[in-house]
Chains A and B, each alone.
Chain A
Amino acid sequence: MNAHGTTEARTGQAIPRASISVLPFVDFRRLVINEAAAGQAILALFGHLGAGPDLVDLHVVLADRDRSRLRIARTTLEADRFESLTPDCARVHLFEREIAEQYGLRPEGHPWLKPVRFHGSYRSGHDAWGRDPRVPIVAGVADFFRVEGDEIHEVAVGPVHAGVIEPGHFRFQCHGEHVFHLEISLGYQHRGIERLLVGGPDKRTSHLMEAVSGDASVGHSMAYCEVVEGLTGCQPPIRALVLRGVALELERLANHTGDLGALAADVGFLPTASYCGRIRGEFLNLTALLCGGRFGRGLVRPGGVRLDLEPSGLDEFRGRLEKAIREVTTAVDLLWSSTSVQARFEGTGVVPFEVAGELGLVGPAARACGLDCDARRDFPSGIFRFAQSPVSSWHTGDVFARAYIRRLEIERSGEFILDQLQSLPDGPITVPAGLLRPDHLAVSLVEGWRGEICHVALTDSTGQFSRYKIVDPSFHNWMGLAMALRDEPISDFPLCNKSFNLSYCGHDL
């Protein structure tokens, strides 16, 4: 325990659960609020069944970016209610709603206490809303924030959309074209992944991780593997770390390219839309060259990687990558040389720096608001301990900035991969991972293409997962989208939405 009353750890380091500092709830609450106000990130805040029958433990994982240290604390709740932190610390609002839904604990004073994913409580007999357990819970059925007045109208979009995208419900309060408020209601993709992981790891676990958010398979499996490697104490060989890094950056390249193309399509700018759609496929095919699957499934496994890049394929890989990067640069430059596109992007969907900080946005969306955060630099793990790219950030917080960050990151990820392939170390690609240490906790943090992917695993006395918490970057960022739409014309929503391009299933788990 340190002076702040927390236990410090590195990412991927297993610490005995007994060593985690236990605070009375009042101190726990003050700690989170003070540290958040002092600029520390809240990576996770989650419940866990406690030692007694009616006890629930709350864990918080804070991130001290300047010192690359995680700070962990725990408190135990006996009652089914606690004093909400949200009024003093806005960014925990969704974590508290999640705790209320999963463990039936009511955060008193929470300004907008609604279910997050519309499932029953993990503890039978405890429900934060006192709902009848026999009545099935229907996703999306809840109160929505309403603006009253003459000429105010409500526009409801989804959960079924015109395009082939994931389901989500968006409720706009409008005056003409002007949006006063947007409320986003998700949960339609809830599959109960966190509960499926309890009792693991087993044969399914790696596959489940790759399905947390299908477009971030490599990111989530890397986060999972780093947790397991910490808990088993195994050290994957350096060649495996490089290949993981290459796969992660390819995932970033493919998604950023696809996003820039989709942004172009949304404003009706065809050339970039068509080119980027094709070039995204090139990056996916490169991933397939690496591991046989276009979405990076089956590659990253605890202890290393399952498949190797053959030396004979290396030249082909490098040649195709260089060509794809050249092409994507040309296609994206078109977007920047077209004044009509730039006029459309600039000043649209602004999230101010202060709001982004207060909400705890992560990833490209945060960097586009001028926040200087990137888990690859702040909490380096794997290959990123030895090789780093500069962090890209821009200050305007609009659609332009979110597109610009992607453009910069495409350049840098390309350079990173080519760099790594120059000096690809020899050696094995995997080491056997042993058994998990019992009664330990480990946290991993991976900068996926959407932002920080945080996994927290707690093992029980038999060395199995007693709780596995996944925090997808989308969990932090959906509120950012809602704020971007404040006082914007409603016709700009699709463009703003695309510029965030958040994951529905990563949020819904």
Chain B
Amino acid sequence: MEAIAQGVVHVFLALALPPLLLGVIARTKAFVAGRVGPPLLQPYYDLIRLFHKGSVISETTTWVFRLGPLVGMTTAVLASLLIPLGGPTAPVSFAGDLILLVYLLGLGRFFTALAALDTGSPFQGMGAAREVAFACLAEPAFFLGLVVLAKLTGSLALAGMLGASLGAHWATDSASLVLILLSWFIVLLVENSRIPFDDPNTHLELTMIHEVMVLDHSGPALGMIQYSAAIKLFVSSALVARVAFSAGLGSGWTAWSVLVIGILVIAVLIGVVESVMARLRLSHVPTLLVAACLLSAFGVILLAR
């Protein structure tokens, strides 16, 4: 009974909470800049507004363009079912599900890029090229981090790798864990198009990475894209939070509240980073991503000694 309740809570949180993270980030940034900022629930209002609008679809596009947002949202929702939140396991869990998680997100990206290329616009082509290039560099950093967790916990399922046994390792292998936390935070920023990699608020199409790929989408399609981006941010934050707070996670419903608070703390942290840093020059982005890979790699090396 408890397991079913936790499953229901999992699905509810994974679907309902993501836009709140965007609201928290926006409020944090506004606070640091000395502004009042938009309401916390503004992202929800935006989504509702978008889903009530009509769409304009360019005549040069094909079915690929319309499929992009659908695949993006489906993969994001599926990914959110794979990671454990507050419960001991996720609604869907099996040995090797980490591979599925990474490539579900990869599939979503592939279709977003394809939909962007489908418009034939040079901006969108540029954005797609940037997104895919940076994803190539972010992937090893993420995987090497997973290697560390697998080695520590001896499990190949996300539920095990991020499970209760991880907390004990903070006492013995904290160096590795800190390194992969740093690396994953960088990956989180690049995967979710945050500063210093991308500026989700800019209107300058030539500098965008992710946003430029979705310029042609409007109405419900744009709503789906924004919603799936929020879910992706939620999934990445949950992963980082599970590692960061594994020692104090506790069990039962305490674990749920710790995790939700942890995710909100990460959202605040993202807001702070965005407030105090400028964007990197695009040509310096790979350097930082390679640094993230190295951090994860050192995490692995420390365990292999």
As a 0/1 sequence over residues 141 to 182 of chain A, the CB contacts with chain B under 8 angstroms (1 = contact) are 000000000000111110000110000000000001100000
Q: In whole angstroms, how far apart are the Cα atoms of A264 and B274 in the complex?
A: 12
User: Which of chain B's residues has its CB closest to A170's CB?
Assistant: B206
Chain A residues near B279: list those with CB within 8 A: 267-268, 340, 344
Cβ 8 A contact of A271, one of B32, B126, B196, B205: B32
Q: Does B283 contact A (CB under 8 A)?
A: yes
Chain B residues near A266: list those with CB within 8 A: 202, 204, 207
Known: A163-B204, A270-B32. 9 other contacts (CB 8 A): A154-B122, A177-B283, A266-B204, A268-B199, A269-B277, A270-B274, A274-B34, A344-B281, A492-B281
Q: Does B282 contact A (CB under 8 A)?
A: yes
Given A155-B126, A270-B33, A494–B206 Cβ distance below 8 Å? yes
Q: In whole angstroms, how far apart are the Cα atoms of A492 and B195 in the complex?
A: 16
Task: Give the tally of cross-chain contacts (CB within 8 A).
Answer: 88
A340 pairs with B196, CB closer than 8 A = yes
Q: List 29 A-B contacts (CB under 8 A).
A: A153-B125, A155-B206, A176-B129, A177-B126, A266-B204, A268-B195, A268-B199, A268-B201, A268-B202, A268-B274, A269-B278, A271-B32, A271-B33, A271-B276, A273-B33, A274-B34, A275-B33, A338-B276, A338-B278, A340-B279, A340-B280, A343-B278, A343-B281, A348-B281, A491-B282, A492-B207, A492-B282, A493-B207, A494-B204
As a 0/1 sequence over residues 475 to 498 of chain A, the CB contacts with chain B under 8 angstroms (1 = contact) are 000000000000001111111000
Q: In whole angstroms, how far apart are the Cα atoms of A177 and B125 in the complex?
A: 11
Chain A residues near B34: list those with CB within 8 A: 271, 274-275
Q: Does A421 contact B (CB under 8 A)?
A: no
Q: Does B29 contact A (CB under 8 A)?
A: yes
Q: Does B155 contact A (CB under 8 A)?
A: no
Query: Number of B residues contacting the other chain (C-beta, 8 Å)?
Result: 31
Chain A residues near B196: list those with CB within 8 A: 268, 340
Q: Does A341 contact B (CB under 8 A)?
A: yes
Q: In whole angstroms, how far apart are the Cα atoms of A470 and B35 in the complex?
A: 41
Q: In whole angstroms, how far apart are the Cα atoms of A491 and B35 in the complex?
A: 28
Q: In whole angstroms, how far apart are the Cα atoms of A156 and B202 in the complex?
A: 19
As a 0/1 sequence over residues 15 to 37 of chain B, the CB contacts with chain A under 8 angstroms (1 = contact) are 00000000000000100111100
User: Which of chain A's residues has its CB closest to B204's CB?
Assistant: A494
User: Which of chain A's residues has its CB closest to B271's CB?
Assistant: A270
CB distance from A274 to the nearest CB of B (A): 4
Residues of chain B in range 121-135 having any CB-CB distance to chain A below 8 Å: 122-123, 125-126, 129
Residues of chain B in range 250-294 having any CB-CB distance to chain A below 8 Å: 274-284
Residues of chain A in range 121-155 having any CB-CB distance to chain B below 8 Å: 153-155
Q: In whole angstroms, how far apart are the Cα atoms of A270 and B126 in the complex?
A: 26
Chain B residues near A267: list those with CB within 8 A: 278-279
Given A154-B122, A271-B32, A340–B204 Cβ distance below 8 Å? no
Q: In whole angstroms, how far apart are the Cα atoms of A504 and B29 in the complex?
A: 33
Q: Does B203 contact A (CB under 8 A)?
A: yes
CB distance from B60 to the nearest CB of A (A): 15
A162 pairs with B281, CB closer than 8 A = no
Q: In whole angstroms, how far apart are the Cα atoms of A364 and B57 in the complex?
A: 44
Chain B residues near A157: list those with CB within 8 A: 205-206
Chain B residues near A490: list those with CB within 8 A: 126, 206
By Cβ-Cβ distance, the 4 closest A-B pairs, closest first, are A274-B33, A494-B204, A267-B278, A268-B279
CB distance from B13 to the nearest CB of A (A): 29
Given A156-B122, A163-B204, A491-B206, A270–B280 Cβ distance below 8 Å? no
Chain A residues near B35: list those with CB within 8 A: 274
Chain B residues near A271: list those with CB within 8 A: 32-34, 275-276
CB distance from B184 to the nearest CB of A (A): 21
User: Which of chain B's residues has its CB closest to A176's CB?
Assistant: B129
Q: In whole angstroms, how far apart are the Cα atoms of A238 and B125 in the complex?
A: 60
Residues of chain B in range 31-45 having any CB-CB distance to chain A below 8 Å: 32-35
Cβ 8 A contact of B207, one of A270, A340, A494: A494
User: Which of chain A's residues has its CB closest to B285's CB?
Assistant: A491
Chain A residues near B280: list those with CB within 8 A: 340, 343-344
Q: In whole angstroms, how far apart are the Cα atoms of A495 and B199 in the complex?
A: 13
Chain A residues near B284: list those with CB within 8 A: 343
User: Which of chain B's residues has its CB closest to A341's CB?
Assistant: B278
Q: In whole angstroms, how far apart are the Cα atoms of A177 and B129 in the complex?
A: 10
B281 pairs with A489, CB closer than 8 A = yes
A340 pairs with B278, CB closer than 8 A = yes
